[in-house]
A and B are shown apart, each in its own frame.
Chain A
Amino acid sequence: MTPTTREFVPAAVPLGRPASSPHSLQTLASNPYALRIVSFAIVALAWEWAGRVPVSPSFPTFGETAAALFSMLADGSLPAAFANTLVPLAIGIALSSVVGVAIGVAMGLNEKVEWFGVPIFIVLQAAPLAALVPLLVLAYGIGVTTKVFVVCIMAMPVIVLNSFKAVRHTPHSLIEMGRSFMANRPQLIGKIILRSATPVIFAGLRLGTAAGFVGAILAELLVTPTGVGDIITYSQSTADYPRMYAAIAGVIIVSVLFIEGLGWVEQRFLRPEKRSAS
């Protein structure tokens, strides 16, 4: 999805417009919101077209999906499903964020913790989740605990590894500066290392959150159909494809909003230098 990758591809902002393009188009292109709307409209149109062709009988048009989305919002079934899905999701993401950042930072600060931790999280990151789910179900049953685990397995490795790298890549000259002005270890960590690591830690949190959403839905599809996963499975079994896609779109929208909110919190409270730049 766009919100996660955009961080790393700043060049995606249009820089070199062809010189021949009309002036009004250029000013439009330099407006970030205009371009986002254009990009969204293109996707929606392509979707509508693909649905009308149709590429597959089980692929609804954009219009049908939007209508299903609004009707599910109106009758309250989608909000109710989300309330269900959000429980393991929120617990899992909160847990992954707090524990993940703590473990990652500890790994960055201490080589012994690094040697111990890095292999675990690299393996977890590469592990095929679907194969692990039966094991989890065996161990923890089909309740919330298993779903929280699935969310954590999806979200935690990227949060841990990003926090680790962020701390490890603190500019050496800033650490030397701190030492030369006689910072003690807690000051060095609190005032220099963590502050300098903040942007990359937050990039990890955004990626982890996106992965956590995927994990929450996967858990509902693989463990027991509840919440949004239930709408998806049920609509699929009754061939109500617009509803199915509307549920998926709903998950994406909530995920994007949440990730954007995280970015806003970071900019607002932790990156004063960014605020003054804009």
Chain B
Amino acid sequence: MIGLQAQTAAPPLAADAAPIVEVRGLSKIYPGGVEALNDISLSFPEGELTTLLGPSGCGKTTLLKIIAGLLQPTGGEVRVRGRAVTGPGPERSFVFQDFALMPWATVIRNAAFGLELRGVPRSEREAVAEKYIASVGLKGFETKYPHELSGGMRQRVGLARALAVNADIVMMDEPFSAVDEQTRRQFQEDMLRLVAQERKTFLFVTHSIEEAVYVSNRIVLLSRRPSRVSEIIDVNLPRDSEPDQIRRHPAYLDTVEGIWQTLKRYLD
């Protein structure tokens, strides 16, 4: 099922995990005529972190928002566990590029907001939120307001909110694009830890090749708009090594270089 449209260079051996999300023949033409996606088919294996990587404006956000049910496609469909997506659902949660925190609400209320909307009683939802606030490293900041936090900390709240609803699929649209490099690396370690311990499926969008290779199990390379799948790459890194060793590992360096060679074609 993987990569129907892929002129795939990588051997199709990633079919071990069952797909939890399937994208079939998806097209999106925005009102005004911009064709963002053209007949994309893809599948996302359960329990893995798949990254969408591609040139700016190629339609990564569009694809992610259609999977999230926030945008309607012009053609094609998305299936989650075999059921067609018509809107947002409890099994999917989203981490927003611009954080999308409510400035009038404390960290804990923001983190618990998904549960609040579901009618979970206050003490219960705050207990859950507290746990996730701690797991993203914000213990002690529960009663602060977003404007009292740094950009990196705000995005951690967004992450805690997405995790607190216990969705199977967590979608992240360039979650680290607004934070500095140091925070970003810290985040990447946290992500790897979360992926290992939460057993969720992560769909991740980034601009950074290094970041994609470092955190992903699988990378989907998209071509320029209207977007098509150009290549699917399986990443196999020695995850139990130290971060510095991974970043110097030949497999890491070769994958980064290979992706760069592919993406360079779209630059001109």
Contact = CB atoms under 8 A, between A and B. Distances in A.
Given A181-B88, A181-B113, 17 more contacts: A173-B100, A176-B100, A178-B117, A179-B87, A180-B92, A181-B93, A181-B117, A187-B117, A192-B102, A195-B104, A196-B102, A272-B104, A272-B106, A273-B147, A276-B144, A276-B148, A277-B148
Given A179-B88, A273-B104, A276-B148, A173 B98 contact: yes
18 contacts: A173-B98, A174-B100, A176-B96, A179-B87, A179-B88, A180-B68, A180-B70, A180-B92, A181-B88, A181-B161, A182-B88, A182-B89, A187-B117, A191-B116, A191-B117, A196-B104, A272-B145, A277-B147
A183 interface: yes
Given A181-B117, A182-B117, A271 B104 contact: yes
- Chain B interface, DSSP helix/strand/loop, else mixed: loop
Given A271-B104, A272-B104, A177 B145 contact: no
A95 to B, nearest CB: 28
Contacts of A272: 104, 106, 145
Nearest to B90: A182
Contacts of B105: 273
Contacts of B68: 180
Interface in A134-189: 171, 173-174, 176-183, 187
B28 to A, nearest CB: 16
B176 to A, nearest CB: 17
Interface residues of A, number: 22
Nearest to A270: B104
B165 interface: yes
Interface of A: 171, 173-174, 176-183, 187, 191-192, 195-196, 198, 271-273, 276-277
Nearest to A182: B88
A181 B165 contact: yes
Contact of B96 (A177, A182, A191, A276): A177
Nearest to A272: B104
B252 interface: no
B264 interface: no
A181 B161 CA distance: 9
B112 to A, nearest CB: 11
Interface string B76-117: 000000000001111011101010101111100000011011
B118 interface: yes
A174 B117 contact: no
B114 A181 contact: yes
Interface in B116-170: 116-118, 144-148, 161, 165
A183 B117 contact: yes
A179 B89 contact: no
Nearest to A180: B94
B145 A277 contact: yes
